[in-house]
Amino acid sequence: RLTGAEAALIVNNGAAAILLALAAIAEHKKVIVSRGELVEIGGSFRVPEIMEMSGATLVEVGATNRTHLRDYEKALAKHGKDTGAILRVHRSNFRMQGFVQQPELAELAALAKRHKVPLLEDLGSGALVDLAMFGLEREPTVGDSLAAGASVVTCSGDKLLGGAQAGLVLGERALLAQIRRHPLARALRADKLALAALEATLSLYAEPERAQAQIPTLAMLSASPAELAARAERLKSELVARVPGLTADIVAGEGEVGGGSLPLQKLRGPVVALSHAEWSAAELESRARAADPPVIGTIRGGRFRLDPR
Ligand SMILES: *Cc1c(COP(=O)(O)O)cnc(C)c1O
């Protein structure tokens, strides 16, 4: 209901989702990927390596900065029936700017359909709602990708979606049935507690206002300037009242989304900058970190900063 997908499967995480989708759909076959999308997500998760593990063979097309529809067309013509899928990997944790080009997802989907080859998209961050409504950079949603014609979309449950660690596989019923039947599906399945936690988060998405208010990730990303200013004021006055020798000022700060999502997005807002008559910024930082509960701040310009977001 939230994405328009015909069918869905939940696995342990986003990496598992793409590994399983590739193994089930394209094992022993070629998978066409743009050279601009051979990305590393973190740890040892890299697209070419995941591809190798899945048993599919990588066919690189295009160049680092520019890949055209005709590059995919040429690869399809060359590999014909050996082609298992076209894979698109969303650049969720980095951006490329300047002399860049890639086909629209809908164009790629139309090409895939003409050649009767599934189009898989690894969306990474997993936005379910348009983040532009919170004043953030636009990130393609799972629904956008499926509407544009992707056969199967995979994403993470615990990045922008804001839920439990999980991987979502969504798309066409017949392909999802094939994915569910693959032996890896059992090895990578999510456990009941994760499913219960994910379900609780997803049900909040039924009403966007509730999702925004109650899912911590969305609540933090969409906090209003007035709300943040009030929190900063309170933080400043209570800290100064309780800690002798502390000086606090409210200054303009820029936070980051983190979690490999919206890499260029700056989260502007007031932050509380602290200094102390006897303790250095590093000492303030380590005291805050060792507190119960631990408080995480940053050091900028020689002062310890707390972001009320
Ligand atoms: C984060 C990410 C993954 C992995 O998701 P996890 O849930 O962290 O395993 C896969 N692909 C892309 C493009 C990602 O950004």
Q: Is 164 exposed, middle or buried (0-12, 13-18, 19+ CB in 10 A)?
A: buried
Is residue 42 predicted with pLDDT exceeding 90?
no
Question: What is the pLDDT, as a whole number, of residue 164?
Answer: 92
103 CB-near residues (< 8 Å, 6+ apart): 67, 68, 69, 72, 111
Query: Distance from the CA of 43 to the center of ligand 1, in angstroms?
Result: 11
List the residue whose alpha carbon is closest to atom 6 of ligand 1: 14
Q: Which residues of 295-307 are buried (b: 16+ CB within 10 A; e: fewer)?
A: eebeeeeebbbbb
- CA-to-CA separations, 177 to 2, 116, 184, 285, in angstroms, rounded: 20, 18, 13, 51
The chain-wide mean pLDDT, for the chain, equals 95
Q: Which of 116, 152, 121, 107 is nearest to 5 (CA)?
A: 152
Is residue 134 predicted with pLDDT exceeding 90?
no
Q: Which residues line ligand 1 (CB under 6 A)?
A: 13-15, 18, 41, 89-90, 92-93, 122, 124-125, 156, 167, 260
Query: Distance from the CA of 140 to the center of ligand 1, in angstroms?
Result: 15
List the residue whose alpha carbon is closest to atom 12 of ligand 1: 124
Quote the CA–CA distance of 56 and 25 in Å, as a whole number. 9
Count Cβ atoms below 10 Å from residue 294 Cβ, excluding itself. Answer: 8
The pLDDT-based confidence of 259 (bands split at 50, 70, 90) is: confident
Question: What is the pLDDT, as a whole number, of residue 77?
Answer: 97
Whole-number percent of the chain with pLDDT over 70: 100
Question: What is the pLDDT, as a whole number, of residue 43?
Answer: 78
Query: Distance from the CA of 17 to the center of ligand 1, in angstroms?
Result: 9
pLDDT in tens, 77-86: 999 999 999 9
Q: Which helix (H) or strand (E) holds 180?
A: helix 173-181
Query: Distance from the CA of 193 to the center of ligand 1, in angstroms?
Result: 21
Query: Distance from the CA of 144 to the center of ligand 1, in angstroms?
Result: 18
Is residue 48 predicted with pLDDT exceeding 90?
yes
